[in-house]
Chain A
C-alpha cells in the first residue's frame, strides 16, 4: 500500500469521527478519541465494524487497547490492511 492510501485512511476516519461526534472542533491525527472526542466504547466498537467493511479486513477489538489517538487508530488499520 502506498503513502496515499495511508492518507486516504486518515481522511476517511477523520470524516467518520467528525460526523459520529457531531464535533465542530478540528480533528487532527493527535486528537484523543476518548478524552477529546468523548466517543463511548460502543460507538468506537461499531466504528471498527464499519472500518472492517470499508477495507475488507479483520480488526480485533482487543488491538484497541493500544489506541488512544486518531493517528494510532489509522496506524492500526494501515498495518492490518498492508499485511492482508
Chain B
C-alpha cells in the first residue's frame, strides 16, 4: 500500500463503523444567532455542544475590545512572540493571568493545544518521565511525545493505580512530571486533586494541571479545580485555553516556578508560530475580567448543569459521575449514539457525537455542554426530548 492507499483504507474502516454517520462530524454551522442558537442546514437549532460555558461569545465588552484592537493594531501580528509578535496586549494578558492565579510567571500561547505542547515539551525531555491520566486530551499526549520523555499512563482518575506507578519509578521520581485535568472533556468528571497532590508531595515530583474545561466553571472566582479544592499553591504548573469559557483562541501556562520563563527560549510551540492576533488578545482580556467577576454566571451555569443532569438521570441515561457543564449520555453502540444524535437534531438540538476509540472503554457518547446563557425553558426542552427518545434508542 502506498501512502494515499493507507489513508483510503483508514477512511474505509471509519465509514464501515457507522455507514450513515458520515455527516455527523464537522457539521457546518451556517449562521450563529447567539450564545445558544444557530442555523444548521435549514434548522434553527439550540446549541448544546459548544464549550461556551459562561455564554460570553457575544459579550458586548469583548466585542468592543476586539473592534478597538483591530482598529488600533491591525488584523494580525505577522510574527512570533520571540520576534515581532509580542505586543503590549500579550504582555498585559500575561500579567493579568499571573495576577489571577497569584503566580509569579505566566506565558500566553497561540492555542491551548500549543500551551500543552509547549509547556510539556519545555519541562521534560528524553530520560525524564511523564505520568499521565489514561484519558488525557490529545494535546497532552502529543506534548509528551514531542518531549521525548518516557510516557507512563495510570488508570483514569485512579490514584491507587497512580501510586503503584509512582512507586515503580524508584529514583527516576526526581525527573517525573504528573499530568491531570481539572474536568475531563469526555465524561465531565473531575480529577481527585487532593489525593494527587498528597502523592506528588509524598514522592517528590512535579504536577501539571490542565484547567481547560474548569477555568471559569469551578471555584468562587473561576480559577478552576485548584480554587474549588483550595490547592492552588500545591500545583506546580497550570495550563488552560482561551477557547472555552473565554470565547476566543489561545492558551496559557502559569506557575510560581521562575523556571517557567525559560520556556520562552526553548519551547518550539511557543517560538515557531505567530502570536495571537490583537483582537484575540483584547477580547480575551475583556473576557478574563468578566470571568473573574462572573460568580452570577457560574451560579446560572450550575443551575443549568444540575437541571439537565437530573433530567437525564431520571430519564434513565447512564451519565458521568460528576454533574457539571459536560454531561455525556453513555450508550453501548455507535449505532445507538448516532440514532440519538440524529433524533435530537431533528428536534432542533445540536449536541456532540463521540465514538470509539475517542470515547472511553469502547462505549459511545452523546455529549451535551451546558452554558450560563441557556434559559430554564431551553434546558427543560432538552431534558424532555432526551426523555422522549430514551425508549427509541434502547
Contacts and interface: CB of A to CB of B under 8 A. Distances in A.
Interface string A55-80: 01111111100000000000000000
A45 interface: yes
A49 B165 CA distance: 10
Given A58-B152, A60-B152, A62-B150, A42 B357 contact: yes
B153 A58 contact: no
B164 A61 contact: no
B155 interface: yes
A61 B153 contact: yes
Contact of B169 (A40, A45, A48, A58): A58
Contacts of B149: 62
B197 interface: no
Interface string B236-249: 00000000000000
B290 interface: no
Give the interface residue-count category, chain B: 10 to 19
Interface string A35-59: 0000011100110110011001111
A58 B150 contact: yes
B198 to A, nearest CB: 21
B152 A45 contact: no
Nearest to A60: B150
B263 interface: no
Nearest to A38: B13
Interface in B26-61: none
B203 to A, nearest CB: 14
Interface in B115-173: 129, 134, 144-145, 148-155, 161, 164-165, 168-169
A19 B295 CA distance: 51
Most A CB within 10 A of own CB, among B145, B161, B168: B168
Contacts of A41: 357
Contacts of A60: 129, 150-152
A45 B153 contact: yes
Contacts of B129: 58, 60
A33 B155 CA distance: 22
B136 to A, nearest CB: 11
A56 B164 CA distance: 9
Contacts of A63: 150
B151 A62 contact: yes
A12 B279 CA distance: 58
A56 B152 CA distance: 13
Nearest to B154: A49
A46 B156 CA distance: 11
A63 B129 CA distance: 12
A81 to B, nearest CB: 12
Contacts of B151: 60-62
Nearest to B1: A35
B168 A56 contact: yes
A49 B357 contact: no
Given A40-B357, A41-B357, A61 B152 contact: yes
Nearest to A53: B164
Contacts of A59: 152
A61 B147 CA distance: 13
A42 B150 CA distance: 17
B175 to A, nearest CB: 13
Given A40-B357, A60-B152, A52 B165 contact: yes
Contacts of B356: 40, 42
Contacts of A56: 168
A57 B145 contact: no
A41 B161 CA distance: 20
Given A41-B357, A49-B153, A62 B168 contact: no
Contacts of B155: 49
Task: From A40, A52, A62, name the one whose CB has the most chain B CB atoms within 10 angstroms.
Answer: A62
A28 to B, nearest CB: 23
A57 to B, nearest CB: 7
Contacts of A53: 164
10 contacts: A49-B155, A49-B161, A52-B152, A52-B165, A52-B168, A57-B168, A58-B150, A58-B165, A60-B152, A62-B144
Interface of A: 40-42, 45-46, 48-49, 52-53, 56-63
Closest 8 CB pairs of A and B: A60-B150, A42-B357, A61-B151, A58-B168, A62-B151, A40-B357, A60-B151, A58-B152
